[in-house]
């Protein structure tokens, strides 16, 4: 099936029944201090003024050479923004702040163990550490401009240091979420062609110091089997000078960064003058086929977009302490912990561990201690905090002026708790809808200008012009109350440039569906297909309903059903696997896994466990199924297609609908008995 085809399991039908909510308005105090209060920004960034309107964002950056063409569409839909411009992201995030702000904290690091206390890294210290590590990467690891390197790092300050050191050299970083398994990391090493892996020995998760180095061994072994040799593994130490993992270091391959760094003390590395369209990083994301897609983000366009949106949507100002709880292993962390905030000279908070460890008040204590006033998290975390400690926020003396929600639709109920309890009724909320592919926000309210509406992301961002198509390609009128496929009519600087090494897949997945002319060089002919379903209300606010392709959003992490299914199929006894999303009150969705065995094999608890373990090994714990159901047969259409919609209805205890047209309708009742017992 083509990636852009609509599947039968559309979440759209479920959510359209949500009722419209009333507006909430920002306080006058908030408006008085906001970065963006000029309503004419929507006009300035209207389609009539496209693409020149984005000069405003580019001008927030320092360029070595100013660009001469704002948007080059000659290779549409692979666009080049700010062409002719020369720029360096590391310079923009660090060096340019030194003259006035070298003593300002760039990163507040919060280790998970309570006894470790906070670390505050100034811009000057960040400068020194990034330079020294960049020298090591260049001279010891032999990395140079245009090379790709894989990072598999946890939430420790060495992660942004590594990213910024790569950016300084023009080396493309590809950070793999630390919670992913070694095998998942291997796939990304192979696809990106990395011959260096940068990792850490250990990190804390819920009070346990996890051995992370073991994943590197698995990753290198698998990558080698798949034809990608890794020459060096650079290992940061959670406790410098001490090795906290059990797996032995491999002689000649594995190196402790802290040992090698001694040779680079005091080293300074001139930032590379990168072309605006040179890749800055890859971020892999799940698709409908097993192979993850390496979203390739550029330098000038991406940085301009995340800097502008951090300033106007996150409202980051010099005095603020900004805490985004995401993991830097995801796009949110790249754009809105590292690049956007640092380009704005913010103080950004990084927390190593679990928000509710060791108790549900932890997050609010961190906020109180650091005097955080801008807070950014996902509905899944909000739901967990609400469940475990609904009254905790009131016990702590912090005050947020601004809060973000990102990653999944937020239920109005949960939004209201977030507003009243976490925000103490004072903070404004922005519900930011966007994707790995889009680099930055697509829809959101502007905090001082557009009122909030629980459950709705808001209108398109200035300069972003969404449109909803139905399945046959007609545009749905505003306020139709009907769900459709939300697309963006125009390109924007933050959008990814292509899928790494696979331009055809990029075009097929994101553009072919509503393309008006495949040979066109005019951006108007290439609407960007987001893959989400949405409804637009009368007021132009968009409510995002979920994915139209089969990607499951677990705790804000995007997992391809196909990825999980193919992991299950690694187990020799398994014939068929089908994954369906089950509603979960904290995680949002959880995968339920249905398995049919090859003939001659019997279902057993043991086998179910093996399948479960295999998925954790292949992908990571976040993909762990709620339950592995070993069934006699899958419900199938006459053409042999597994009916995931029916399985989904059984798992969620909703109506399975008419199943009489199936090849084997009797199996539905049997599975129902088993699952709904």
Whose CA is closest to 352, among 107, 128, 623? Answer: 107
- Stretch (H or E) spanning 55: helix 55-58
Q: Which is nearer to ligand WTA, 435 or 610 (CB)?
A: 435
To ligand WTA, the closest distance from the beta carbon of 647 in angstroms equals 21
Which candidate, 536, 487, 483, places its Cα nearest to that of 511? 487
- Are the beta carbons of 586 and 599 closer than 8 angstroms? no
- Return the number of the residue (372 or 406) whose C-beta is nearest ligand WTA: 406
Q: What residue has token string 């139905």? A: 470
Q: Looking at beta carbons only, is 534 or 571 nearer to ligand WTA? A: 534
Cα–Cα dist 272/170, whole Å: 6
Instruction: State in angstroms the smallest separation of the CB of 279 from ligand WTA.
Output: 18
CB of 213 vs ligand WTA, minimal distance in Å? 27
Count the neighbouring beta carbons within 10 Å of the beta carbon of residue 227: 8
Give the E-state strand segments of 399-504 in sequence order. 402-406, 428-432, 466-469, 484-488, 498-499
Q: Are 80 and 103 spatial neighbours (Cβ–Cβ below 8 Å)? A: no
Quote the least distance from Cβ 390 to ligand WTA, whole Å: 23
User: Between 363 and 530, whose beta carbon lies closer to ligand WTA?
Assistant: 530
Q: Tell me how far, at minimum, the Cβ of 44 lies from ligand WTA, in Å.
A: 24
Taking the complex as a whole, the smallest distance from the CB of residue 334 to ligand WTA amounts, in Å, to 10
**Residue 23 and residue 627: Cα distance in Å, rounded?**
40
Positions that interact with ligand WTA (CB under 6 A): 285, 330-332, 406-409, 431-436, 457, 530-532, 544, 546-547, 553, 558
Q: Which is nearer to ligand WTA, 558 or 587 (CB)?
A: 558
Helix, strand, or coil (residue 178): coil
261 or 406: CB nearest ligand WTA: 406
- The dihedral built from the CA positions of residue 659, 661, 663 and 666, taken in this order, carries a sign that is positive
- Rounded CA gap, 132 and 124, in Å? 12
Cα–Cα distance for residue pair 417/390, rounded to 1 Å = 8
Give the residue with the Cβ less far from ligand WTA, 344 or 444: 444
> In angstroms, rounded to a whole number, what is the distance separating the alpha carbons of residues 42 and 443?
13
Nearer to ligand WTA, 299 or 432 (CB): 432
- For 273, residues 6+ apart whose C-beta sits below 8 A from its C-beta are 64, 65, 86, 87, 88
Q: CA triplet 77, 8, 631: central angle to 5 degrees?
A: 125
SS3 content of the chain, % helix, strand, coil (to 5): 30, 25, 45
Residue 666 Cβ, how far from ligand WTA at the closest point, in Å? 35
Nearer to ligand WTA, 406 or 656 (CB): 406
Nearer to ligand WTA, 357 or 514 (CB): 514
**Closer Cβ to ligand WTA, 320 or 532, answer by number:** 532
- Quick check: 546 and 534 in contact, CB under 8 A? no
Nearest Cα to Cα of residue 75 among 531, 442, 498, 515: 498
Nearer of residues 287 and 635 to ligand WTA, judged by Cβ:
287
Nearest residue to 232 (alpha-carbon basis) of 172, 189, 294: 189
Cα gap 280→89, rounded to integer Å = 8
- Considering the complex, state which of residue 489 and residue 530 has its C-beta at the smaller distance from ligand WTA: 530
Can you tell me the distance from the alpha carbon of 97 to that of 665, in angstroms, rounded to the nearest whole number?
A: 66
Determine how β-strand 498-499 pairs with β-strand 293-298.
antiparallel
Report, in Å, the least distance between residue 654 CB and ligand WTA. Answer: 20
Least separation in angstroms between CB 407 and ligand WTA: 5
Pairing of β 254-256 and β 232-236: parallel
- To ligand WTA, the closest distance from the beta carbon of 530 in angstroms equals 6
What distance in Å separates the CA atoms of residue 292 and residue 295, rounded to the nearest whole number? 9
Instruction: Please give the structure tokens belonging to residue 201.
Output: 């020995």
Point out the residue whose Cβ comes nearest to ligand WTA. Answer: 436
327 φ, ψ (degrees, to nearest 5): -95, 140
Measured from the CB atom, the residue of 546 and 635 that comes closer to ligand WTA is 546
CA-to-CA distance for 550 and 51, rounded, in angstroms? 33
In whole angstroms, how close is the CB of 445 to ligand WTA at the nearest point?
A: 11
As measured in angstroms, the least distance from the Cβ of 404 to ligand WTA is 9
**56 within 8 A of 308, measured Cβ to Cβ:** yes
Q: Given the complex with ligand WTA, which of 308 and 531 has the nearer CB atom?
A: 531
CB 167 within 8 A of CB 146: no
**What is the closest distance, in whole angstroms, from the C-beta atom of residue 622 to ligand WTA in the complex?**
12
Angle among Cα 608, 613, 615 to the nearest 5 degrees reads: 100
From the CB of 456, what's the least distance to ligand WTA, in Å? 9
Least distance in angstroms from the C-beta of 457 to ligand WTA: 5
Return the number of the residue (222 or 543) whose C-beta is nearest ligand WTA: 543
CA distances from 174 to 269, 530, 604 (A): 21, 22, 40
Whether the Cβ atoms of residue 323 and residue 370 lie closer than 8 Å to each other:
yes
CB of 330 to ligand WTA, least distance (A): 6
């Amino acid at each position: 099936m083509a990636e852009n085809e609509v599947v039968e399991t559309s979440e759209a039908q479920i959510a359209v029944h949500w009722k419209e909510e009333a507006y909430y308005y920002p306080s006058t105090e908030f408006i008085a201090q906001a970065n963006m209060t000029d309503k004419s920004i929507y006009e300035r960034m209207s389609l009539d003024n496209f693409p020149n309107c984005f000069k405003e964002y580019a001008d927030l950056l320092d360029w070595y050479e100013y660009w001469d063409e704002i948007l080059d569409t000659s290779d549409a839909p692979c666009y080049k923004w700010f062409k002719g411009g020369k720029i360096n992201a590391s310079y923009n995030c660090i060096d340019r702040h030194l003259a006035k702000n070298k003593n300002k904290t760039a990163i507040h690091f919060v280790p998970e163990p309570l006894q470790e206390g906070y670390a505050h890294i100034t811009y000057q210290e960040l400068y020194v550490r990034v330079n020294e590590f960049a020298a090591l990467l260049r001279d010891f690891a032999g990395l140079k401009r245009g090379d790709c390197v894989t990072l598999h790092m946890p939430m420790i300050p060495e992660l942004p240091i590594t990213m910024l050191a790569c950016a300084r050299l023009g080396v493309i970083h590809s950070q793999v979420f630390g919670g992913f398994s070694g095998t998942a990391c291997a796939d990304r090493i192979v696809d990106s062609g990395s011959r260096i892996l940068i990792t850490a020995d250990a990190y804390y998760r819920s009070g346990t110091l996890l051995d992370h180095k073991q994943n590197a061994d698995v990753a290198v072994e698998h990558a080698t089997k798949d034809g990608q040799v890794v020459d060096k593994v650079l290992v940061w130490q959670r406790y410098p000078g001490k090795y906290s993992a059990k797996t032995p270091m491999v002689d000649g391959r594995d190196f402790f960064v802290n040992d090698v760094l001694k040779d680079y003390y005091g080293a300074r590395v001139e930032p590379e003058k990168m072309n605006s369209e040179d890749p800055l990083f890859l971020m892999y994301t799940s698709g409908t086929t097993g192979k993850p897609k390496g979203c390739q983000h550029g330098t000038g366009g991406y940085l301009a977009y995340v800097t502008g949106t951090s300033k106007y949507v996150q409202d980051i100002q010099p005095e603020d302490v900004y805490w985004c709880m995401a993991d830097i292993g995801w796009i949110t962390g790249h754009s809105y912990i590292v690049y956007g905030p640092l380009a704005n000279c913010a103080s950004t908070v990084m927390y190593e561990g679990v928000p509710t460890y060791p108790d549900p008040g932890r997050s609010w204590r961190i906020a109180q201690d650091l005097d955080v006033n801008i807070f950014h998290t996902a509905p899944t975390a909000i739901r967990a905090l609400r469940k475990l400690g609904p009254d905790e926020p009131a016990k702590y003396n912090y005050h947020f002026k601004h809060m973000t929600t990102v990653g999944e639709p937020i239920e109005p109920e949960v939004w209201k708790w977030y507003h009243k309890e976490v925000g103490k009724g004072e903070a404004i909320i922005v519900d930011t809808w966007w994707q790995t592919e889009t680099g930055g926000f697509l829809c959101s309210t502007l905090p001082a200008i557009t009122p909030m509406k629980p459950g709705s992301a808001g209108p398109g961002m200035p300069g972003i012009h969404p449109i909803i198509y139905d399945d046959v390609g007609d545009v749905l009128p505003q306020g139709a109350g009907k769900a459709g496929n939300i697309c963006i009519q125009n390109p924007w600087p933050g959008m990814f440039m292509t899928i790494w090494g696979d331009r055809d897949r990029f075009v097929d997945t994101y553009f072919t569906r509503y393309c008006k002319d495949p040979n066109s060089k005019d951006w108007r002919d290439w609407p960007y297909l987001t893959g989400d379903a949405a409804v637009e209300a009368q007021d132009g606010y968009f409510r995002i309903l979920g994915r139209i392709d089969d990607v499951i959003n677990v705790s804000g992490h995007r997992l391809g059903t196909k990825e999980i299914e193919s992991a299950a199929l690694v187990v020799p006894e398994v014939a068929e696997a089908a994954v369906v999303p089950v509603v979960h009150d904290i995680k949002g969705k959880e995968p339920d896994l249905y398995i049919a065995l090859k003939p001659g094999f019997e279902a057993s608890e043991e086998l179910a466990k093996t399948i479960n373990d295999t998925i954790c090994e292949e992908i990571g714990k976040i993909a762990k199924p709620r339950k592995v159901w070993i069934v006699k047969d899958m419900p199938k259409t006459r053409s042999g297609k597994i009916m995931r919609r029916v399985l989904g209805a059984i798992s969620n205890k909703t109506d399975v609908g008419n199943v009489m047209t199936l090849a084997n309708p009797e199996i539905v009742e049997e599975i129902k008995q088993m699952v709904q017992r």
